[in-house]
């Protein structure tokens, strides 16, 4: 069955390019080779304070990727992001990308700060690496769980964070996402029609009884087997006067990135 997928400028362009090149996905095709086919050369070298950058030349465009990025998935995403600039933003001046521009947390604040081009390049990268239609088919008959997200991330060769955002958009089970950096909540989103309302904790510490707090306060990182942790509804959501916390089954899967001192809490109800 085909579902109706809503594409935006960045993702639509990625889809068109895949279609034009006759690829359903790029899972077994080297990304560097794909870039080269489109006319951009990808090289890896040490870069300071930068994950990747793009240099538009008169004849050739160069995409430089920091060879010291510790994660293969992050390198891949950065290549795809720069490729997005190459396709969508020709003539962009020498452009450096780092955690803040290739971040998945494209809230309004971030967009205002880094401009529309970053948002579009990220949307492009997401679609290029994780084609929406294929993603939808992969997960539609599966029960939501941390294991499902991990297996999807492995299959599509992207980070759990990238997959969680894709799942938020297209997944079969409603999930909410909360991003915390240096022990302060920086971003959250819940499904538009979700009946539960999130407490607004932007710039505040995460709730004391959240799994995110266990990481920031005690350094606790759960092994995969225990990554599904039971929490209260009231941990992240508003509990109405007439509601009882015992009447809900909420869970938090806290994806920890020690390298950047940040977490992504994936919260859902069963």
Binding interface with Zn ion (CB under 5 A): 97, 101, 118, 121
The neighbouring-strand residues paired with 237 are 198
Least distance between Zn ion and beta carbon 122 (Å): 8
Kindly report the backbone phi and psi dihedral angles of residue 214, in degrees, each rounded to the nearest multiple of 5, phi listed first: -60, -35
Angle of helix 31-38 relative to helix 72-88, nearest 10 degrees, comes to 10
Token pair belonging to 59: 């004849």
Q: CA nearest 134: which of 266, 36, 5? A: 5
Query: What span, in angstroms and rounded, lies between the C-alpha atoms of 101 and 90?
Result: 18
Nearer to Zn ion, 97 or 127 (CB): 97
Nearer to Zn ion, 92 or 239 (CB): 92
Least distance between Zn ion and beta carbon 53 (Å): 8
Least distance between Zn ion and beta carbon 37 (Å): 21
Least distance between Zn ion and beta carbon 97 (Å): 4
- Shortest Cβ contact with Zn ion: which residue? 97
Q: Are strands 176-181 and 184-189 parallel, antiparallel or unpaired?
A: antiparallel
Query: What span, in angstroms and rounded, lies between the C-alpha atoms of 150 and 158?
Result: 10
Least distance between Zn ion and beta carbon 58 (Å): 21
Q: Decide: helix, strand or coil at residue 209.
A: coil
Least distance between Zn ion and beta carbon 140 (Å): 32
Helix (H) or strand (E) holding 178: strand 176-181
Nearer to Zn ion, 73 or 103 (CB): 103
Q: Decide: helix, strand or coil at residue 144.
A: coil
Token pair belonging to 84: 């997005």
Token pair belonging to 230: 């039971």
Nearer to Zn ion, 51 or 252 (CB): 51
Nearer to Zn ion, 97 or 214 (CB): 97
Token pair belonging to 43: 């090289």
Nearer to Zn ion, 118 or 214 (CB): 118
**Tokens 């869970």 sit on residue:** 251
Helix (H) or strand (E) holding 229: strand 229-231
Nearer to Zn ion, 85 or 196 (CB): 85
- Count the Cβ atoms, other than its own, within 10 Å of residue 243: 14
Least distance between Zn ion and beta carbon 146 (Å): 30
Least distance between Zn ion and beta carbon 257 (Å): 20
Nearer to Zn ion, 121 or 164 (CB): 121
């Amino acid at each position: 069955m085909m579902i109706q997928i809503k594409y935006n400028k960045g993702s639509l362009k990625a889809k068109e390019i895949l279609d034009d090149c006759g690829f359903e996905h790029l899972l077994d095709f080297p990304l560097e080779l794909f870039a080269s086919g489109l006319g951009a050369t990808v090289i890896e070298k040490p870069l300071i304070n930068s994950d990747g950058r793009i240099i538009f030349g008169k004849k050739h465009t160069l995409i430089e990727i920091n060879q010291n990025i510790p994660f293969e998935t992050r390198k891949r995403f950065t290549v795809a992001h720069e490729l997005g600039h190459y396709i969508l933003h020709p003539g962009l001046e020498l452009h450096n990308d780092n955690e803040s521009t290739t971040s998945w947390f494209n809230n309004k604040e971030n967009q205002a700060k880094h401009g529309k081009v970053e948002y579009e390049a990220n949307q492009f990268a997401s679609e290029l690496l994780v084609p929406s239609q294929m993603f939808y088919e992969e997960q539609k008959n599966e029960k939501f769980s941390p294991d499902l997200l991990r297996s999807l991330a492995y299959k599509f060769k992207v980070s759990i964070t990238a997959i969680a955002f894709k799942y938020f958009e297209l997944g079969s089970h409603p999930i909410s996402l909360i991003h915390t950096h240096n022990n302060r909540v920086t971003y959250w989103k819940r499904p538009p029609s979700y009946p539960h309302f999130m407490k607004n904790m932007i710039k505040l510490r995460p709730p004391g009884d959240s799994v995110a707090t266990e990481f920031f306060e005690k350094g606790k990182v759960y092994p995969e087997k225990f990554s599904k942790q039971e929490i209260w509804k009231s941990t992240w959501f508003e509990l109405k006067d007439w509601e009882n916390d015992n009447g809900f089954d909420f869970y938090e899967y806290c994806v920890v990135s020690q390298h950047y001192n940040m977490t992504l809490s994936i919260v859902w109800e069963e």
